[in-house]
Amino acid sequence: MKFTGQSFWLGKNVEYANAWRLQSNVVKRVLSKAFPNTLLFLEHSAVYTVGRRFSENHLLGPLDAPLLHTDRGGQITYHGPGQLICYPIISLSEVGLGPKSFVKMLELSIINTLKDLSVDAWTEEGLTGVWTSKGKIAAIGVKISKGITSHGFALNIDPDLKAYDPIIPCGILGRDMTSIFSITGQITNTNQVCDLITKSLSKWTGIDWGDRLDSSVETIQK
């Protein structure tokens, strides 16, 4: 490995706004070299988020969770229990990646992880994210500021898929959302998924993420 990194599990039911503030804090620290490249894993409490390309036409009905506007790319999506969130905060120049190759690396890491979980997945031309025969299983929305990445991807392990009914996820009409559980019928250990993703991200970036630490938003922000 060429580079040193760090990795954290922030727990479940993490409020989106708190994680967003944390990301901004970590971005500043990575930019100033006070922090190494950082992975943040968590599950959010139920929330809908929209990116810079949001259209109100993608709202189909009343939402049962808050709607928040963010500074990431992309359109509207849902986050909630049963969905693994990964926020890689990486200096792209340090690891030799550009914006497009970074997104492609995220997609490949998810695909490789799903393969190890007996789920066939792929990318589709002109669309961001990861797809299966039953629908989209992972959404990607990133921000890059001064060469440092934030936001990241959401992988559906076993969320309530009905939460997507009142929206057009990522602005893509006529395509279902799915999950690992919907495809395999088996309960998947979140720690195992984190391990597989970390291993794959390490392969593509050359970063040794070290042992994943249990922490909290408040602890890391100090």
**Domain spans of the chain, in order of start:** 3-221
State the angle between helix axes of 190-205 and 99-116 in degrees (0 to 180), rounded to the nearest 10: 140
Helix (H), strand (E) at residue 21? helix 16-31
What pLDDT, on a 0 to 100 scale, did the predictor assign at position 167? Answer: 96
pLDDT at res. 6: 97
189: exposed, middle or buried (Cβ count in 10 Å: 0-12, 13-18, 19+): exposed
| Active-site choice (50, 90, 167, 170) | 170
* Phi and psi, residue 81, nearest 5°: -55, 140
**What count of other Cβ atoms lies within 10 Å of the Cβ of residue 76?**
23
Strands 67-69 and 37-42, bridge-based pairing: unpaired
Q: What is the CA radius of gyration of the chain?
A: 16
Q: How far, CA to CA in Å, does 16 sit from each of 19, 46, 47, 163, 219?
A: 5, 9, 7, 16, 16
Question: What pLDDT is attached to residue 52?
Answer: 83
Q: Nearest 10 degrees: CA dihedral of 104, 96, 22, 35?
A: 150
The amino acid present at 103, given as its one-letter code, is: V
Predicted local distance difference test score (pLDDT) of residue 185: 97
| pLDDT recorded at residue 216 | 94
Q: What is the pLDDT of residue 2?
A: 81
Coil, strand or helix at 14: strand
pLDDT given at position 1:
59
Query: Is 86 tagged catalytic?
Result: no
CATH of 3-221, one of 2.60.40.420, 3.40.1210.10, 3.30.930.10, 3.30.70.260: 3.30.930.10
Under 8 Å between Cβ of 182 and 134: yes
- Residue 54: predicted pLDDT: 83
pTM for the model: 0.96
Q: Along the 222 residues of the chain, how does pLDDT read in single tens digits? A: 589 999 999 999 999 999 999 999 999 999 999 999 999 999 999 999 998 888 888 999 999 999 999 999 889 999 999 999 999 999 999 999 999 999 999 999 999 999 999 999 999 999 999 999 999 999 999 999 999 999 999 999 999 999 999 999 999 999 999 999 999 999 999 999 999 999 999 999 999 999 999 999 999 987
pLDDT for the residue 221: 82
